[in-house]
Amino acid sequence: MAPAPFIRPFKEEDTEMAKFICRATLPPSLASSEAGVRMAPYLWTLQFTYLFPEHAFVLDDGAGKCVGYVIGAPDVFVFAERYHEYVEGVLGSEQGRKDVPVPKQLTKLEPWEIVTGEGGEKKKRKEVNPECLAQTAYNINWLVLEGVEGKKELNEEYRAMLHIDMLEEFQGKGWGRKMIQTFVESVKKAAGEEKDEKGEKKYDYGKGINIGVAGENTKVVPFYEKCGFRVYPGGEKEGNVWMVLDL
C-alpha cells in the first residue's frame, strides 16, 4: 500500500520543491516566459517561507516529498516591516542575484508587459516584462501594498494574506481545504498569543485573510468560495479577483 499523504510544517529542505511547485502551477502568461518561470518563486513563495516559516505548511506525499504548500503572512504590515530581511537574505544571495537580477531602478515601476518580436504585427507578441518582475520582487509596496483603487482598503481590513499551490495530481481530494484550515488556525493562534518586545500583540489580522486570484486562473474561485472566502470588490480593476475570509 502506498504511504498516505499528510500535512506537516514546512522545513527548510522543502524549499526546492516549493520553488518547483510554484513554477509548475503558473498561469500561461508567466509559464510561457523564461524570466517569469525563473523569478516566480521570488515573488510569490520564498518571502513567506523565509520570513514566516511557522505559518508555512506542506502536503507531504507520505514519503517525505513536498507536493503542495500553503503559505502567507499573519499581518501584511509586519510583513512589510520585515521585507528588507528577505531582500538581503534571499534576493541578495548568490542564487537570488542570479535568478532575479538587481533592478536598474526602483523609483518608477515599469509596465507589466512588453511587446517583443520584429517585423509585422503577426510576429509581435506581448510578454511579461522581466524588469517589472525584478522591481516587484524587490519592492514590497509594488508587490503587495500599492495598486489600483481599493487595494489600500483591502490590506487595512484583511491584514493576513494566504497563498496555496499544489501539484495537479493531488488536487481535488480535499487537501486544499484542510491546508487552508491549518493556516487559518496558525494565524488565529499567533494573533491571540504572540507578543512583541513591548508586550503588545505582535500580529493583527484585522477582519481576516485576503487572497489574490490571477485573472487567468478564475476557475479556482468556486474552490475558495467553498472554503468560506468571498469576492472583495476592486480586483477586477487590475484584471484579477480579490477574495477574503472573515475570521
> Burial code of 146-173, b = ≥16 C-beta within 10 A, e = fewer?
ebeebbeebbeebbbbbbbbbbeeebee
- Residues of 176-210 as b/e, b for ≥16 C-beta within 10 angstroms? bebbbebbbebbeebbeeeeeeeeeebbebbebbb
Model-wide pTM > 0.85: yes
CA distance 12 to 94: 18
Return the pLDDT at 119: 55
Q: What is the pLDDT of residue 118?
A: 59
- The pLDDT confidence band at residue 198, using thresholds 50, 70 and 90, is confident
Tell me the percentage of the chain whose pLDDT exceeds 70. Answer: 96
3 state DSSP class of 59 = strand
Yes or no: say if 189 and 203 are a contact pair by the CB < 8 Å rule. Answer: no
- State whether residue 66 is helix, strand or coil: strand
Per-residue pLDDT reduced to its tens digit, 183-193: 999 999 999 87
pLDDT tens-digit series, residues 87-133? 999 999 999 999 999 999 999 999 999 887 655 555 567 899 999 99
Pick the range with the lowest mean pLDDT from 18-22, 83-87, 185-189, 198-202. Answer: 198-202
Closest CA to 179 of 48, 55, 58, 4: 58
197: which 3 cell numbers? 518586545
Q: What is the pLDDT of residues 208-246, one digit of tens each?
A: 999 999 989 899 999 999 999 999 999 999 999 999 999
Residue with cell 488565529: 188
Alpha helices (H) along the chain: 15-24, 28-31, 34-44, 46-51, 76-86, 94-99, 130-138, 140, 151-157, 175-193, 221-226
- Residues with Cβ < 8 Å from 174, sequence gap 6 or more? none
Amino acid at site 104: K
User: What is the sign, positive or negative, of the torsion defined by CA atoms of 23, 25, 30, 31?
Assistant: positive
pLDDT digits (tens, 9 = 90+) for 143-174: 999 989 999 999 999 999 999 999 999 999 99
* pLDDT band for position 63 (cuts 50, 70, 90): very high
Q: Say what the pLDDT of residue 200 is.
A: 76
- Which range is least confidently modeled, 55-64, 69-78, 184-193? 184-193
